[in-house]
Chain A
Amino acid sequence: MANPLLRTVAPPDAALIAAWRDGDERAAAELVERHARPLARFLAGAGAPETDVDDLVQETFIRAFRSVDRFRGQCQFRTWLMTIGGNVLKDFGRRAARRKVVPLDEGVRDRAGDPHDHAEASETEEMLSAGLQRLPRLQREVFLLRAQQGLEYDEIAAALGTTPGAARVHYHHAVRRLKEIVK
């Protein structure tokens, strides 16, 4: 009979990161399983087309694991991942622009998929999503980290290399502009 304690107590991210640094692939897989969905939500909220979210999530994890030595615990691993995801998405937008694909800044939203799903999406949600694409990148990311991911300003500031006060200002600017756009 399995020990229930072993099943319920998950190793902290720091332990998995240390294990990955020692070459443990299972630790890397565990980190992906733990953080992939919140990262996907963040990327989709920041404008990633739904059809590309899987690729962008993978690319984010690849970059994170290959540069994991730069992560010094200044913020949560998940928050750090999201900042890398922001860079991955930015690069994706540049490549898309070069290929003359619909650019991110014009509010890339996936229009593929089940039309019924789209019909169910509320109009205001769509407007908010479109409004987010019109914000400067920093405001958009601060807004998502705060409103979507529920992070504190201290955590956001540590991840983005700014101060909590500045993060708060970015958030309020984002909210103000979104109110203007969505009203």
Chain B
Amino acid sequence: MNEERMEQLAKRLGARAAERLDVGQTARQVVERLREPAPRSTWIQPAWLRIAAALVIVVGGAVLYRFTPGHRPVVSQHAAHFVADDLSGLSADDLRDVLSSFDEILSTDSAPASDSTDWRELDSQQLREVLRALEGEG
């Protein structure tokens, strides 16, 4: 069947139903029904449905993200990282130099450096702990 033939047939679809329709009677019945009060719709307004759907997506997405395996909160990742750990390749002397440079910064910035910062008495492990402590204070 070609398209033209299909369109011809389509024009005939429903013709019998249309012929049987009593148009005057239908018009009278419609007008009578329009005089009746409209049934109160219990359907939720589409705007509220959209808002509810958006809330579900946002909350659901947040919950899904939070409980996704392998997900770690950004804050905890930051807290677990210390610059001091990146200095693991440095020797004790190098670490002392780093801390000494802190002293210089502090002394030029504000208060004089503490007299207890004799880095030469500390080993590399202690120096790293000092660096971690400094980072924690920051």
Are A and B interaction partners?
yes
A interface, CB within 8 angstroms of B: 25, 28-30, 32-33, 36-38, 40-45, 48, 50, 53-54, 57-58, 61-62, 65-66, 110, 117, 122, 124-125, 128-129, 132, 143-144, 147-148, 150, 175, 178-179, 182-183
Q: Which of B1-55 contact A (CB under 8 A)?
A: 1, 3, 5-7, 9-24, 26-31, 33-35, 38
Q: How far is the CA of A54 from the CA of B17 in the complex (A)?
A: 9
Query: Given that A41-B18, A44-B14 are known contacts, is A124 also in contact with B30, CB under 8 Å in the complex?
Result: no
Query: Which chain B residue has the least Cβ–Cβ distance from A40?
Result: B18
Query: Given that A29-B28, A182-B1 are known contacts, is A36 also in contact with B9, CB under 8 Å in the complex?
Result: no
B interface, CB within 8 angstroms of A: 1, 3, 5-7, 9-24, 26-31, 33-35, 38
**A-chain residues with CB within 8 Å of residue B35 when the two chains form the complex:** 25
Query: Given that A25-B34, A29-B28, A33-B24 are known contacts, is A50 also in contact with B6, CB under 8 Å in the complex?
Result: no
Main secondary structure on A side of the interface with B: helix
**B-chain residues with CB within 8 Å of residue A117 when the two chains form the complex:** 16
**B-chain residues with CB within 8 Å of residue A45 when the two chains form the complex:** 10, 13-14
**A-chain residues with CB within 8 Å of residue B29 when the two chains form the complex:** 58
Whether A57 and B13, one on each chain, are in contact in the complex, defined by CB atoms closer than 8 angstroms, is: no
Whether B1 and A44, one on each chain, are in contact in the complex, defined by CB atoms closer than 8 angstroms, is: no
Q: How far is the CA of A62 from the CA of B7 in the complex (A)?
A: 30
Query: Which chain B residue has the least Cβ–Cβ distance from A25?
Result: B31
Query: Which chain B residue has the least Cβ–Cβ distance from A150?
Result: B11
**B-chain residues with CB within 8 Å of residue A29 when the two chains form the complex:** 27-28, 30-31
- CB A42 to nearest CB in B, in angstroms, measures 7
Query: Which chain B residue has the least Cβ–Cβ distance from A60?
Result: B30
